[in-house]
């Protein structure tokens, strides 16, 4: 993503022109950072502080378009994506009302108006940057896949958040030609994974986009590098796109695993060196004005390096970025992330957060929309995550000793968070959950097996969901029933041939015969009444059967083979007649007479049946008659008109 980084870096070069103003704008009177870190993270308070950046005429122009920095009144599409996400998140957590001047609706409509009227590059795509006050292009350069993808993610979120604006949002996406960038996605790390989702959400799917979307599953096959004892994939790794993906997408469990490794490598670096570590990208108040901190650097092959897209690798003290520190604390909430959160508190001002604090404890006196937008996203994530996931399943279930049953578990949360599912029960009750790792909202299957020697009675199965938002336990009541005995019934017709699809009933339990005519009913103990039905017609029983051990019997049913001869009034064979056998209005079988007028039906129940004769298309009823079936035999009807007659 270094090429994309160079494109985006051009914005920062403009800051050089305003270097002297930067010190004034970024450190105004009364905006000195707090020198003390708070011992407890108050997420709503932090979000309110970060939202201060987007005050009108400070971080947002009078026309409603944000500034990348108060000292640089321009905006890229990446910046616009940050602002849209900040508005959505601020409204969701109650910082920003929807209605009123400079409310969420007013702000969003101003941004959509800008996207609807801004001049476009001759190629039909946006320019790289725009003046937030005049809407004029910053330069003649076009935008790039990174910025387009980031804005597309935000517009997709906005469409879901504000479906009433769907038509306008669709128009904006179509007008700005974002799809032309889709083939330029370079699948070399987490930036590509994040921005590819923007194109995917809007149907701009190219082979390059598909390749980038497969990143989490591909990472286990790529070369690995050791970063302070953590095996990381040899791709671009830094926290900016990782945190954006967690806050704004719905990543898979495998993505969370790689994200955790990136976090853990930074934790281990701190333990090994004593240097606080929260690597990301951001602005500097001095040259080179913008840096990328790589946890894995594919350009030099090293880990934990600092780069500038123009100057290359730098020998400078890394920055503990406030957005990365607070973002990691929102996701993982460990002692180390709490330390990081406290470490960057002195970067807080009444107008948002400075970029961060370097490893030597020096505040980075630059302030941007990107940092403050991500802090608001982190706060929204942490506030929603503070409630544990919800577990839902059946309250009670039964299983026979020696058998297995399955129960569906639903795990939900207001955020997509990784959850590990587990279950436990008493001895001789074996329980497993699959899949054991999910991202909310998901379902999993709880498999419960009672060993053959399990004592009948009631048991409890505890299901636990473990997540960064806390743990949740649900108790399921399990009743183990005695296994009983098997009754095997072989159902045959009058000629001793197997009867498939017959219904065998033993007491309150049922089973159906297979092609071999056999049905097995389990879990019986004592005397039961057994019956056999075929197509709903009783053909055997009832018979009282005592089942005190595994028992087998043969049910010879009143099912007969019947031959029908269709003849004309002059006693000639009637071929091609469609014959249907029915009992009590239910059709059991059909056949067409052959050249000699014969049709054969097997498994016709004894008793009263009705035989219908039709034309082959069943359009005309030729005749019908009622027959008493008492055994194998032949029925002759002398009154059927041949189908060929009109």
Residues 402 and 495 in one domain: no
Whether the per-residue pLDDT at 142 is higher than 50: the answer is yes
Mean pLDDT of all residues belonging to the chain: 91
Q: What is the pLDDT of residues 355-413, one digit of tens each?
A: 999 999 999 999 999 999 999 999 999 988 888 889 999 889 999 999 999 999 999 98
Q: Residues 351, 55: contact at Cβ < 8 Å?
A: yes
Q: Residues 323, 341: contact at Cβ < 8 Å?
A: no
Query: How confident is the model at residue 381, as a pLDDT?
Result: 94
pLDDT band at 469 (very low <50, low <70, confident <90, very high): confident
User: Which of 27-41, 45-59, 69-83, 149-163 has the lowest average pLDDT?
Assistant: 27-41
Token pair in block for residue 163: 């479906």
- More confident of the two residues 641 and 546: 546
The Cα–Cα gap between 254 and 259 comes to 9
Closest Cα to residue 349, out of 34, 71, 40? 34
Q: Name 372's Cβ contacts closer than 8 Å, sequence gap at least 6.
A: 50, 51, 52, 53, 54, 59, 86, 323, 352, 353
pLDDT band at 640 (very low <50, low <70, confident <90, very high): low
Residues 194 and 120 in one domain: yes
Q: Which long-range contacts (CB under 8 A, 24 or more apart) does 524-530 make?
A: 524/484, 524/485, 524/486, 524/487, 525/482, 525/484, 525/485, 528/487, 529/505, 530/487, 530/489, 530/504, 530/505, 530/506, 530/555
Residue given tokens 């969701």 in the structure block:
92
Residues 192 and 282 in one domain: yes
Which of helix, strand or coil describes residue 107?
helix
Residues 266 and 350 in one domain: yes
Supply the CATH number for residue 427's domain.
2.60.40.10
Report, as an integer, the average pLDDT of 175-199.
Answer: 97
Last residue of a domain, one of 357, 385, 413: 385
The Cα–Cα gap between 95 and 103 comes to 10
Report, as an integer, the average pLDDT of 238-251.
Answer: 97
Residues 581 and 531 in one domain: no
Which of helix, strand or coil describes residue 333?
coil
Residues 233 and 356 in one domain: yes
Closest Cα to residue 165, out of 210, 104, 218? 104
In this structure, how many other beta carbons lie within 10 angstroms of the beta carbon of residue 519?
24
Residues 83 and 52 in one domain: yes
Q: What is the pLDDT of residues 343-354, one digit of tens each?
A: 999 999 999 999
In terms of pTM, does the model score above 0.85? no
pLDDT band at 1 (very low <50, low <70, confident <90, very high): very low
- More confident of the two residues 633 and 155: 155
Residues 566 and 613 in one domain: yes
Residues 365 and 408 in one domain: no
Which of helix, strand or coil describes residue 372?
helix
Which of helix, strand or coil describes residue 512?
strand
pLDDT band at 642 (very low <50, low <70, confident <90, very high): low
Last residue of a domain, one of 529, 556, 583: 556
Virtual torsion, Cα 158, 159, 161, 163, nearest 10 deg? 150
Which of helix, strand or coil describes residue 288?
coil
Q: What is the pLDDT of residues 2-17, one digit of tens each?
A: 444 444 444 333 333 3
Report, as an integer, the average pLDDT of 225-254.
Answer: 96
pLDDT band at 147 (very low <50, low <70, confident <90, very high): very high
Residues 257 and 373 in one domain: yes
Q: Considering the domain boundaries, does residue 564 fall inside one? A: yes
Report, as an integer, the average pLDDT of 313-331.
Answer: 97
Helix/strand/coil (H, E, C) string of 196-238?
Answer: HHHHHHCCCCCHHHHHHHCHHHHHHHCCEEEECCEEEECCEEC
Closest Cα to residue 153, out of 16, 235, 247? 247
Q: Where are the alpha helices (DSSP H) in 27-76?
A: 43-51
Q: Considering the domain boundaries, does residue 625 fall inside one? A: yes
Q: Name 154's Cβ contacts closer than 8 Å, sequence gap at least 6.
A: 80, 81, 82, 84, 85, 88, 248
The Cα–Cα gap between 190 and 240 comes to 9
Total domains in the chain come to 4
Whether the per-residue pLDDT at 146 is higher than 90: the answer is yes
**Which domain does 139 fall in, by range?**
43-385
The Cα–Cα gap between 462 and 448 comes to 11
Which of helix, strand or coil describes residue 377?
helix
Q: Considering the domain boundaries, does residue 172 fall inside one? A: yes
Q: Considering the domain boundaries, does residue 435 fall inside one? A: yes
The Cα–Cα gap between 275 and 298 comes to 22
User: Which of 27-36, 496-505, 536-545, 556-565 has the lowest average pLDDT?
Assistant: 27-36
Token pair in block for residue 79: 């910046």
Largest CA distance in the chain: 117
Q: Residues 428, 455: contact at Cβ < 8 Å?
A: yes
Residues 429 and 549 in one domain: no
Supply the CATH number for residue 265's domain.
1.50.10.140
Q: Residues 455, 474: contact at Cβ < 8 Å?
A: no
Backbone angles phi, psi at 405, to 5 degrees: -135, 160
Report, as an integer, the average pLDDT of 259-275.
Answer: 98
Last residue of a domain, one of 535, 556, 577: 556
Beta strands 607-614 and 578-583, pairing class: antiparallel
Q: What is the pLDDT of residues 604-629, one digit of tens each?
A: 999 999 999 999 999 999 888 888 88
pLDDT band at 470 (very low <50, low <70, confident <90, very high): confident
How far is CA 492 from each of CA 329, 479, 582, 587, 591, rounded to the nearest angstrom? Answer: 71, 37, 20, 21, 22
Closest Cα to residue 159, out of 149, 173, 176? 173
What kind and span of H or E run contains 291?
Answer: strand 290-296
The Cα–Cα gap between 515 and 522 comes to 19
Q: Considering the domain boundaries, does residue 645 fall inside one? A: no
Whether the per-residue pLDDT at 501 is higher than 50: the answer is yes
Whether the per-residue pLDDT at 580 is higher than 70: the answer is yes
Supply the CATH number for residue 605's domain.
2.60.40.1120
| DSSP one-letter string for 111-166 | HHHHHHHS-B-TTSSBBS-EETTT--BSSS-B--HHHHHHHHHHHHHHHHH-GGGH
| Radius of gyration of the chain, Cα coordinates, nearest whole angstrom | 37
Q: Residues 404, 373: contact at Cβ < 8 Å?
A: no
pLDDT band at 414 (very low <50, low <70, confident <90, very high): confident
Whether the per-residue pLDDT at 476 is higher than 60: the answer is yes
**527-537 per-residue burial string, b: 16 or more CB within 10 A, e: under 16:** ebebbbbbbeb
How far is CA 152 from each of CA 85, 112, 157, 179, 192, rounded to the nearest angstrom? Answer: 11, 13, 9, 10, 13
Q: Considering the domain boundaries, does residue 109 fall inside one? A: yes
Closest Cα to residue 391, out of 480, 303, 465? 465
Virtual torsion, Cα 261, 265, 268, 274, nearest 10 deg? -150
Q: Considering the domain boundaries, does residue 22 fall inside one? A: no
Token pair in block for residue 186: 């370079």
Query: How confident is the model at residue 636, as a pLDDT?
Result: 64
Residues 398 and 287 in one domain: no
Report, as an integer, the average pLDDT of 434-445.
Answer: 93
Q: Considering the domain boundaries, does residue 270 fall inside one? A: yes
């Amino acid at each position: 993503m270094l090429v994309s980084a160079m494109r985006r870096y051009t914005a920062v070069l403009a800051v050089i022109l305003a270097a002297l103003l930067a010190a004034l704008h970024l450190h105004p009177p009364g905006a000195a950072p707090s020198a003390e870190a708070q011992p407890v993270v108050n997420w709503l308070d932090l979000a309110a502080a970060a939202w201060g950046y987007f005050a009108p005429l400070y971080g947002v122009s009078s026309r409603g378009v944000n500034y990348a920095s108060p000292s640089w009144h321009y905006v890229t599409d990446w910046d616009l994506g940050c602002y849209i996400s900040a508005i959505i998140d601020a409204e969701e957590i109650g910082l920003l009302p929807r209605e009123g001047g400079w409310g969420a609706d007013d702000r969003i409509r101003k941004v959509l108006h800008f996207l609807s009227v801004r001049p476009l590059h001759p190629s039909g795509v946006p320019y790289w940057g725009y003046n937030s006050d005049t809407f004029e292009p910053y330069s003649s350069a076009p935008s790039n896949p990174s910025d387009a993808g980031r804005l597309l993610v935000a517009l997709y979120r906005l469409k879901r958040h504000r479906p009433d604006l769907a038509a306008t949002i669709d128009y904006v996406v179509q007008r700005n030609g974002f799809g032309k960038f889709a083939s330029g996605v370079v699948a070399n790390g987490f930036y590509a994974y994040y921005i590819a989702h923007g194109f995917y959400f809007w149907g701009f799917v190219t082979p390059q986009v598909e390749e980038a979307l497969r990143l989490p599953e591909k990472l286990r096959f790529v070369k690995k590098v050791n970063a302070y004892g953590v095996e990381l994939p040899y791709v671009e790794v830094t926290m900016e796109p990782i945190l954006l993906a967690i806050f704004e997408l719905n990543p898979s469990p495998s993505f969370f695993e790689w994200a955790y490794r990136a976090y853990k490598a930074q934790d281990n670096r701190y333990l090994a060196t004593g240097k606080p570590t929260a690597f990301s990208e951001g602005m500097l108040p001095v040259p080179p004005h913008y840096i990328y901190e790589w946890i894995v650097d594919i350009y030099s092959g090293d880990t934990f390096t600092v780069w500038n897209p123009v100057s290359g690798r730098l020998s400078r003290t890394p920055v503990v970025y406030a957005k990365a520190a607070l973002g990691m604390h929102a996701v993982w909430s460990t002692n180390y992330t709490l330390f990081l959160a406290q470490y960057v508190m002195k970067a807080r001002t009444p107008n948002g957060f400075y970029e961060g604090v370097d490893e030597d404890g020096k505040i980075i006196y630059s302030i941007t929309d990107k940092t403050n937008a991500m802090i608001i996203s982190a706060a929204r994530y942490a506030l929603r995550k503070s409630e544990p996931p919800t577990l839902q399943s059946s309250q009670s279930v039964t299983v026979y000793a020696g058998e297995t049953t399955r129960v569906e578990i639903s795990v939900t949360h207001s955020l997509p968070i990784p959850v590990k599912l587990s279950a436990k029960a008493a001895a001789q009750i074996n329980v497993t959950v699959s899949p054991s790792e999910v991202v909310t909202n998901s379902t999993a299957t709880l498999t419960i097996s009672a060993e053959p020697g399990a004592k009948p009675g009631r048991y409890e199965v505890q299901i636990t969901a473990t997540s960064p938002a806390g743990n949740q336990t649900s108790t399921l009541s399990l009743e183990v029933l005695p296994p009983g005995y098997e009754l095997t019934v072989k159902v045959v017709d009058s000629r001793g041939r197997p009867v498939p699809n017959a219904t065998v009933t033993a007491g309150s339990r049922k089973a159906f015969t297979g092609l071999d005519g056999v049905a097995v009913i389990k879990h019986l103990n004592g005397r039961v009444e057994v019956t056999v039905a075929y197509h709903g017609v009783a053909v055997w029983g009832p018979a009282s059967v005592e089942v005190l051990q595994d028992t087998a019997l043969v049910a010879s049913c009143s099912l007969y083979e019947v031959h029908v001869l269709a003849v004309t009034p002059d006693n000639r064979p009637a071929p091609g007649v469609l014959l249907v056998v029915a009992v009590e209005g239910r059709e059991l079988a059909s056949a067409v007479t052959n050249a000699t007028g014969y049709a054969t039906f097997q498994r016709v129940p004894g008793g009263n049946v009705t035989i219908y004769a039709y034309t082959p298309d069943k359009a005309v009823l030729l005749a019908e008659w009622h027959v008493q079936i008492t055994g194998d035999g032949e029925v002759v009807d002398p009154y059927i008109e041949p189908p060929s007659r009109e």
